[in-house]
Amino acid sequence: MNFELTEQQLAIKETARKFAEEELLPGVIERDEASEFPVDLYHKAGELGLIGLPYPKEVGGQGLGYMEYALAVEEVSKVDASFGISYSVSTSLYGGSVWNSAADDETKKKFMEEVCKGQVHGSFGLTEPNAGSDAGGCITTAVKDGDEYVINGLKCFNTNGPLARYSAVYALVEPEKKAKGLACFIVDIKNTPGVRVGKIENKMGIRAAQVSELIFEDCRVPAANKITADGDGFKLAMQTLDCGRIGVAAQGLGIAEGAFERAVAYMKEREQFGKPIATNQYLQFKMADLAVKIEAAKYVLYKAAMDHDTGKPFSQSAAKAKYICTNTAMEVTEWAVQFMGGNGYMREYHVERMMRDAKITQIYEGTNQIQQLIVGGALFR
Ligand code: CAA
């Protein structure tokens, strides 16, 4: 296996790093406090070609792969994990729903181009109040009426919900078949009567990312917006979540690396008992332990991205990557706060935000217990 990144991958990493340092870092604390998403910076990331990386140029993307995309999510998440998840959901979960669907080329272009260029956001409407880990338990319905479908129901925890122009909405076309009766619809949230943004969530972390309910009340969408055959919605959601988990893994890895770098810098500077705290061997041993875990998580993630890009099955490697990268994010950020002491607990030192941001990465796009179920289930099949 070749662990070297190509020149192009290094260039993308550098573009994302520079964007994160120069554009995202100023104001990241204030945006966290105010729960404000930097829409203008999102457009800028699109202009830099960072958003649609893994999709072909014909649909507005950059014609590259998940490896390049993971590198970009990792870099921006070192600085601003809220930006990282907004980007990841738009690209993997919304973009993946359309790209992996049965839609024809023209429909894919229509619903992906502006999203890939970062001009508008996409969201992913699967979860409902009683259908979280049990994603097949959705009760939102879509009833055919002439050339339209009429959608009724409520989708919750929609990342990008209040911002998104488009949402990939999973609804039952044959309710009696339960999960096997799901289909996926693209809803133009901003231009379709009958859909509205409900409660906007007030969150512990990723506070600048916008997360809300989407409420559908006799919402009519053209039949052409159904992008799967009847009954194929659950499989599309699962395939798309496999892609999304690579994005969340990259977000987790970025958070871990960002907190680790800040802790190292602090520990070299901070003096107690007449010497930098970095010279304390106990702290060095713990930092060494974390450095090994970050390195291990990184290669599990890159393997998942490579599996995706080389056309191999990647459900398992994506679940493993999501599991190890996000658990590492939580562990590293907790230690970063601990080793930075009272300062680590304060907003201006960034790591307390990273610790709050890390927690949700162990929960969304399939809790880490669901990832264990996916990996454990395959071991004994
Ligand atoms: N790819 C393709 N098909 C898949 C698949 C995959 N990865 N996983 C399952 N399937 C197929 C199965 O082959 C099976 O097909 P058949 O019926 O034809 O045999 C069908 O789907 C049902 O599979 P299961 O019986 O395994 O399904 P299940 O109901 O037991 O659920 C699960 C499995 C893994 C627990 C799944 O429900 C799951 O992933 N749950 C977590 C949901 C989740 O991640 N939600 C996050 C939502 S997004 C979010 O977090 C918000 C945000 O904006 C960030």
Please answer whether residues 140 and 155 qualify as being in contact, where contact means their C-beta atoms are separated by less than 8 angstroms: yes
**Site of tokens 């203008």:** 40
The pLDDT tens digits of the residues spanning 288-326 come to 999 999 999 999 999 999 999 999 999 999 999 999 999
Q: Is 164 in the pocket of ligand 1 (CB under 6 A)?
A: no
The rounded distance, in Å, linking the Cα atoms of 68 and 157 is 27
Q: Which residues does the annotation mark as catalytic?
A: 365
- Token pair, residue 62, equals 């950059």
Closest atom of ligand 1 to 123 CA is 53
Residue 74 has pLDDT above 80, yes or no: yes
The rounded distance, in Å, linking the Cα atoms of 277 and 151 is 59
Residue 381 has pLDDT above 80, yes or no: yes
Rounded to the nearest 5 percent, the helix, strand and coil shares of the chain are 55, 15, 25
Task: Give me the pLDDT at residue 325, please.
Answer: 99
Task: Give me the pLDDT at residue 3, please.
Answer: 83
Task: Categorise residue 202: left if φ over 0, alpha if ψ from -120 to 50, beta otherwise.
Answer: beta
Residue 1 has pLDDT above 80, yes or no: no
Instruction: Write the DSSP assignment of 122-152 as a string of letters.
Output: EEEE--BTTBSSSGGG---EEEEETTEEEEE
- Token pair, residue 19, equals 């964007």
The pLDDT tens digits of the residues spanning 222-265 come to 999 999 999 999 999 999 999 999 999 999 999 999 999 999 99
User: Between the CA of residue 376 and those of 87, 256, 371, what are the distances in Å?
Assistant: 30, 25, 8
- Residue with the smallest CA separation from ligand 1 atom 12 is 235
Mean pLDDT of 354-368: 99
| Dist. CA 355 → ligand 1 center (Å) | 28
The pLDDT tens digits of the residues spanning 19-60 come to 999 999 999 999 999 999 999 999 999 999 999 999 999 999
Q: How many CA atoms lie within 13 A of 100 on its CB side?
A: 24
Residue-averaged pLDDT of the chain: 98
Helix 281-309 and helix 66-79, axial crossing angle in degrees, nearest 10: 150
Task: Give me the pLDDT at residue 40, please.
Answer: 98
| Dist. CA 242 → ligand 1 center (Å) | 9
| Dist. CA 258 → ligand 1 center (Å) | 31
Residue 272 has pLDDT above 80, yes or no: yes
Task: Give me the pLDDT at residue 62, please.
Answer: 98
Q: Is 82 in the pocket of ligand 1 (CB under 6 A)?
A: no
Task: Give me the pLDDT at residue 198, please.
Answer: 98
What residues are paired with 123 via a beta bridge?
A: 167
Task: Give me the pLDDT at residue 378, please.
Answer: 98
Please answer whether residues 155 and 137 qualify as being in contact, where contact means their C-beta atoms are separated by less than 8 angstroms: no
- Residue with the smallest CA separation from ligand 1 atom 13 is 235
- Residue with the smallest CA separation from ligand 1 atom 52 is 159
The pLDDT tens digits of the residues spanning 106-146 come to 999 999 999 999 999 999 999 999 999 999 999 999 999 99
What residues are paired with 153 via a beta bridge?
A: 216
Residue 266 has pLDDT above 90, yes or no: yes
**Site of tokens 């499989």:** 235
SS3 state of residue 49: coil
Closest by Cα among 93, 14, 21, 22 to 49: 14
Mutate to test the pocket of ligand 1, among 93, 235, 357, 374 (most ligand atoms within 8 A of CB): 235
pLDDT band at 220 (very low <50, low <70, confident <90, very high): very high
Write down the pTM of the prediction: 0.98
Please answer whether residues 83 and 41 qualify as being in contact, where contact means their C-beta atoms are separated by less than 8 angstroms: yes
pLDDT band at 2 (very low <50, low <70, confident <90, very high): confident
The pLDDT tens digits of the residues spanning 194-205 come to 999 999 999 999
Q: Is 236 in the pocket of ligand 1 (CB under 6 A)?
A: no
